[in-house]
Chains A and B, each alone.
Chain A
Amino acid sequence: MIPLWMRFAGRELRSGVKGFRIFLACLALGVAAIAAASSTAEAFRQGLAAEARQILGGDLSVSRGQTRFTPRERALFDRLGRVSVAVAVQAMSEAPSGERRLVEFRGVDAAYPLAGAVTIEGAPSLAAALARQDETGGPAVWGAAVEQALLERLNLKLGDRFLVGNVTLQATAILETEPDRLARGFALGPRVLAQTGALESGGFLTAGLPFAQTARIALAPGVPLDEAKAEIAKAMKGVYRVRDRNDAAPGVSRMIDQLEYFLGFIGLASLVAGGLGVFGAVSAYVDGRKSAIATLKALGADSALIRNTYLAQIGLLALAGVTIGLATGAATPLVLGAAIQAQLPVPALFAIYPAPLLKAAAFGLLSAAAFALAPLARARTTPPASLFRSDLSGRLRPGPELIAAGLAAAGLGALAVVTAPTPFAAGVMIGGVAAAFLVLWAFGWAAAALAGRVRGGARGAMRIALANLAGPRSAARTAAPAIGLGVALLAAVVLIQSSLLAQISSIAPQTAPALVFTQIPGERAAAFDAEFARAYGRRPTADTYLRAPYFTGRITAVRGEPVTPERVPANVRWAYDNDVTLSAIGPEPPNANILSGRWWPADHDGPPLLAMSKEPARGMNLKVGDKVTLSVLGAEIETTLAVIRDVDFGSFGASFPLIVTPAALEGAAPRHVAIAKASRDEEQRIVRALGQSFPEVNVISVREQLEAATELFDQVALAVRGAAAVALMAALLVLAGAIAARAQERTREAATLKVLGASRAQVLAAYVLEYGLVGLIAGAAGVALGYAAAWPVVTQVFEATWSVDWGGVAALLAGAAALAGAGGLLASFQALSKRPAAALRGA
């Protein structure tokens, strides 16, 4: 036997979902956004997992810089399985025309690749492409597969010869893809692939030079991964890194996690903004059913029967909304994947994955419960006397529904935090959304109260608009918080992006160096300065040119205690668990930004002193005068912390986390690095000129990197803004719901106004004003909240300069007011569509 509440619920639902379209749309939109983001991320994860061996280039990879693997180490690798060793350096390429460009020069052996395949164009096979070329009759040269970008930059074509360092290469093929490119990450220049011998012949692999070497191992059958890793750990000495196929591209995985969370967060914000639509729809429904509820109570139904009857209906509709959202969210990546899979930089296996859908469903149902249960409580509390007194309706009283709604809201927040890659950041974001929502809600109520106070001073259409805003079903209370939240989210995204973009495209080119020179031989440093000055064409100053010796070293002890990286706070661990760059400088460099201590005399000859960047110093609670032991070039140096400074790694200055007094490293013959400010023309002149006398010096064009970053950032920004607009869509749905809920009332109101002599234009103006004001108020509050959210992110998290995109902010405000005003226009057309007599008869 079907329970009575279920039978009654079924009968009540016969009138269809007409009043629930907004409810369904609000839920479906948020769930779809979360499901699509999570499903897409899962598709990438599965794609990465399926191609992990190709991405890593084997089952295991062992990397080490600056020294080659010993024969013993090679023997161990060979015992574990098939091995391919690759080496890579950054070096300058040069065309016969003198055009130069930094490249990633990579050498591989005959076994490469152990997994997957290299895609090239212009040669029958990789072996053929990399073979020594002598068809021109001259001396044989190394064949190289190069990226199209290099051919374009150096104005070369296949078959042409060019230099990398002092090695002559012949471009034999265009390098399209390498299976292990994703695992190697970001490259500063176009890639050039050749045989290892090419790098050897150029002297790139001399011990101590900054080359990276990676052995990839395809384990022999029966050799377990963990055992192989353990054997490697036992046999290898010094600094090296082991990765396995389960962690093939950690950077990409982290990025996918973060992107999933960010997009999911927008989905969640849409659910919260849309929550008002859910709240409004359920409130309107319960209001509409007041007579039926009171009748059932008069017939003997108790509150439990009423609650269950209406809970079942809302529950069923919530399930329907969530299902629509899941179907849309699951289908979106499938459709998108089919369209753009070939262009994706990361492998993806688009399919329907249950886990992301379950997560999205949980978010949807929890948000439905959080926002629907409170108005649903009014069904239970609707007094039967409302059959006699139309002014009576159910009140929100503390009860099981409100407790459940609170629990659901807490569950929603908890689920968002638990499923986030960085729970603390997620907690802050969720807390921010909740706080913003409350502020906007209070703001809406305050705006309605204010409208009530000032309406007395207004006339005509404005007075009608203000009266409606002050009224019991004011859109200032129902739609404004949702619009405000949508605008706040979009404003935060716009403001963060515009600040970061300004940092990359306008501020950084002014403050950061235009050129970075690496691998300057120490013994020819003075000659380099002279050559640079000659090519520069003007006298370099401390503000335009800075050269310093370059070392890498490690902090091994602090205040005499050896460093245990696990005990170092995570945000500064990078300075204690890895080699960091350091320099030895006598005179105080420009923009030293000293926070405590004093810079040493330029000719300081006493015990070694240290200048340290503030973050690692503060992380370990270091004070001026503390002892810090460094390991540099195999020697332990005990230094005294003399200076703590604020190092702006993006500015023109000595951007080293550690600087020691020159005497501390006396006798070492380091290479130097230099930075310079230069115009585009100067830059080209310098790069060309240095090719003659300093071919081994690498020149990195910061301008080019910034331009590439700006382009990438623009693309990402567009996608992120598009995603953030989903939250605004939810807000528009809420506005549509608020308009729909008052449609009948509006029709009667418009008819009454017309009977009283108001023209159509006056009615129209009143409604446009009313909703336009709602949009303006909510938009302003949203922009203010977005500003408050974006400022700390830009200045504290990204440590960038805050710059406001006033155009974007104005567009957002105008957009919010215009969209809301258009809603008012729609409401007025709807209200005016009925003749007054018919509308009033219907009343």
Chain B
Amino acid sequence: MMSDLDQLYQDLILDHYKRPRNSGCLPHADRRAEGHNPLCGDHVTVFLKVRDNVVEEVTFQGSGCAISTASASMMTEILKGRTLEEAKRIFEKFHALVTGSAAEQDAGADLGKLEVFSSICRYPVRVKCATLAWHTFKAAAERQAAPVSTE
């Protein structure tokens, strides 16, 4: 049986932390937003290129903890090629998963690899780490002007 810590820091999360995918700025992005976690001072910028309502490209830039970096990295993988509506639904499910508000049988349904974050709900202070990039993606998609804060 895995310890709580091993469940939190699974290989998949550590892999995305050490080798983040889609990391860096996107020069031809048509939308971008900045996110900030005042708790730890971490910043993330999410860059988006949307065509015909579909996320054609998405990257992120910033530095953060393993949870926030892996979450941002996996987010870019899963959202690429999705419509903005699909992206919104996935965020809602992911949010329910990490805050522990998903019904037991739905927890993580259709989230694929993102289910690796299911143990975050036992670390309430780390939920913001897991959702920072997602809130920032949402702000970019909705073209919000003000920077996102997890507070």
Our verdict on whether A and B bind, yes or no, reads no
Interface residues of chain B, those whose CB is within 8 Å of chain A, are none
Interface residues of chain A, those whose CB is within 8 Å of chain B, are none
